[in-house]
Amino acid sequence: MTIQNSSAKTAVVFFSGKGHTREIAQRLAGEFGVEAEEIEPAEHYSDADLNYTVDDCRANRESFDPQARPALAADIPNVSGYDIVFLGYPIWWGDAAAPLRTFVESVNWAGKTVVPFCTSGGSSITRSVSTLSSLAGAGEWHRGIWIRAHASGEAIAAELKRAGL
Ligand SMILES: Cc1cc2nc3c(=O)[nH]c(=O)nc-3n(C[C@H](O)[C@H](O)[C@H](O)COP(=O)(O)O)c2cc1C
């Protein structure tokens, strides 16, 4: 799959709790000359919500409840006109952050190529791609790319190349 120089319409959408994934998504979008669009939850995550050292924090409760589908804001990104969707998120407990479940189930992925990308403290993206692609039930899902927090545009371009994109 070669994205740069192709006529495919490319979108970059992301969820970010603390800003690491947002920064990467914006740089990645810059590589394609598009704007990154944010998947915003209806109720934003506070620092306490994301404090995973507290067993019962919101992010932990959602992570460990496979049925949890956190509500999203009314104006979530509309990817219906796009061929290729880069989908970015942080890893929570080895899997995609819970709001991704809600988003992925709200989109018709048929005919689209999805390229998941994540930031994390080191955990790989593999399990999250399997979770999200099975919730999506359609689309061609790339194996995904892990991008180091604060990676430069050049480093991101190198990751894309390494991933064959
Ligand atoms: C609830 C929660 C669980 C996390 N679990 C993991 C994990 O299992 N593995 C890991 O490498 N990082 C984990 N992290 C760290 C985040 O993946 C990492 O800080 C990420 O870059 C945050 O992105 P953001 O700033 O866009 O929210 C976790 C963070 C949170 C808030």
Tens of pLDDT, residues 106-151: 999 999 999 999 999 999 999 999 999 999 999 999 999 999 999 9
Region 44-59: mean pLDDT is: 98
Ligand 1 site, residue 17, Cβ cutoff 6 A: yes
Decide if 30 is inside a domain.
yes
Q: Which protein residue has the closest C-alpha to ligand 1 atom 28?
A: 92
Does the pLDDT of residue 159 top 90, yes or no? Answer: yes
Region 72-97: mean pLDDT is: 97
- Write out the two tokens for 10: 């490319």
Distance 97 CA to ligand 1 centre (A): 8
Does the pLDDT of residue 5 top 80, yes or no? Answer: no
Domain ranges, residue 130? 10-162
Decide if 1 is inside a domain.
no
At 1 the pLDDT is 55
Closest of 6, 23, 135 to residue 82, by C-alpha: 6
3-state secondary structure of 64: coil
The CATH number of whichever domain residue 89 belongs to comes to 3.40.50.360
Please state, rounded to an integer, the average pLDDT across all residues of the chain. 95
Domains held by the chain: number: 1
77: DSSP letter: -
Ligand 1 site, residue 52, Cβ cutoff 6 A: yes
